[in-house]
Amino acid sequence: MTGPSPSSPSSPSPAGTAREIARSVRSGERSAVDVLDGYVAAIEARETEIHAFNELTLDQARTVAADIDRRVAVGEDPGPLAGVPIALKDNLCTRGVVTTCSSKILEGWIPPYDATVVQRLVAAGSVAVGKTNLDEFAMGSSTENSAFGPTRNPHDTSRVPGGSSGGSAAAVAAGFAPVSLGSDTGGSIRQPAALCGVVGVKPTYGLVSRYGLIAFASSLDQIGPFATTVADAAVVLEAIAGHDPADATSIPQDAPSIVEHLDDGIAGLRVGVITELMGEGIHPDVAARVREAAEALAAAGAVVEEVSVPAVAYGLSAYYLIAPAEASSNLARFDGVRYGLRVDAATTNEMMVATRTAGFGAEVKRRIMLGTYALSAGYYDAFYGQAQKVRTLIARDFATAYERFDVLLSPTSPTTAFELGAIHDPLTMYLNDICTIPTNLAGDPAMSVPFGTGSDGLPIGVQVLAPTLGEVPMFRAAAVLEAAAPTEEVDR
């Protein structure tokens, strides 16, 4: 390793967990300003090495923290995340703060409004410390596609943190914030959570409002938390979940209460280990940890069996038609006319071409072209239409599995963190999401829980999957895995 790990993969910051911070700030035992200062010191010590952030908002954070302390002093309760520093992925709109999606085409753009999740975090008392780096427009699995340079894995700075929410995962793993938000379109929360050794949650599609999330693929995108503990992830999810009239895809009902069930245990819970995600392409270290996780759940009282979800084998193929098709439509708005970068040219068409050529990176261009082709006349039915049929098959196969099981288990990422610059072939890079993509296509929740390390000493994450709105049993299983997580390396 090029630098020491700041902590073990699943251990909380020295400042405490988010729940502990909020409890002490609400009681007046600690001040929000002092808590913030501790995290600022951590950021100043390692941020130039890690590059987790595109933009730091520390002056605004100090103002918010001071106001929280004032409210506590007069007897007010600032909320369940009182004084908790949080990092926000730089595709979440934040009023008055630059929001770029790590793209030159939005460099310097300042939104006039906050995303709904940002509003809810403010209402819960959290303190935003900055906007985190990502693969441009959330398209990538390594955070190497950012127009502003890559983020590095805090456990080994020669390695990637995963993507696309690599900055958010790295910020939590490095102790820059106890919690953060990311977005997950095909694994962009769970895969970096696994590679950075933190908890990462993709909620049920529609449970968390997407209003103010700059869209990649609208039928797949979902916002969720990173945290050092399962309980902290649950607290943040409860804070941001729930119906939002501003989002037409928002589920019109109250969000489930998760925190109160974390200690319920899993006696009698039915767990299925997905056979299709335990074979070819999965590193032996990772497969070994998943088997150990299954054994830990069984030891805690769960009924554990293998289960086949056949259509997951086609998830990658379907995703890389559906997601680029939606991206080609969503990214058409970046044309040099309304906002963002504008490269002047003799005609309007030439201006648009010049703007998009200069503003978009290679991976974004690749996916726009792929999506445009899939939607074009003569190819729509053969590619996009066929991919949607496969998506339906995947959803049906998951539904069938959930008739027998309460939750499912699989690897999160097929490997531990790979070296920066090691993967040049796009198809090889896409394979990093083979375990996570199927759940996005189905719209169900899933989360990654740190579960020991590989023989290289790098974190491994185990994925817990659940049916639609099955967050409660999913978190119960995750809490058991967290408590049972091994500390030794697997044998070579």
Tokens of 327: 């991206």
Catalytic pick among 102, 146, 188, 328: 188
Q: How far is Cα 121 from Cα 18, in angstroms, rounded to an integer?
A: 13
104 noted as active-site residue = no
Q: Verify cis geometry, omega within 30 degrees of 0, for the bond prior to 164.
A: yes
Please state, in angstroms and as integers, the Cα–Cα distance from residue 400 to each residue in 47, 392, 396, 442, following that order: 46, 12, 6, 12
Helix axes 58-73, 18-27, angle to 10 degrees: 50
Q: Print burial letters for 101-132: b (CB count within 10 Å at least 16), e (below 16).
A: bbbbbbbebebeebbbbbbbbbebbbbbbbbb
CB-based contacts of 303: which residues, under 8 Å, 6+ apart? 268, 269, 270, 271
Number of CB atoms found within 10 A of residue 406's CB? 21
Tell me which of 10, 31, 103, 164 is the catalytic residue. Answer: 164
Cα(294)–Cα(298) distance, integer angstroms: 6
What is 283-302 written as a DSSP string?
A: -HHHHHHHHHHHHHHHHTT-
With DSSP H G I counted as helix, E B as strand and the rest as coil, what are the percentages for the chain, rounded to 5?
A: 40, 15, 45
Is residue 389 part of the annotated active site? The answer reads no
CB 318 within 8 A of CB 394: yes
Query: Measuring CA to CA, which residue among 451, 390, 442, 391 is closest to residue 416?
Result: 451
Burial 467-482, CB ≥16 within 10 A → b, else e = bbbbbbbbbbbbbbbb
Instruction: Show the tokens assigned to 441.
Output: 């296509």
DSSP-derived secondary structure letter, 222: -
89 has catalytic annotation:
yes
Say which residue the tokens 């890389």 belong to: 320
Distances (CA, A) of 336 to 15, 97, 291: 45, 20, 51
- Residues 422 and 420: their CA atoms lie apart, in Å, by 6
Which residue of the set 5, 89, 202, 448 is catalytic? 89
CB–CB of 14/42 below 8 Å? no
Q: Which of 330, 292, 350 is nearest to 214 (CA)?
A: 330
Q: What are the residues facing 459 on neighbouring strands? A: 453
The residues assigned a catalytic role are: 89, 164, 188
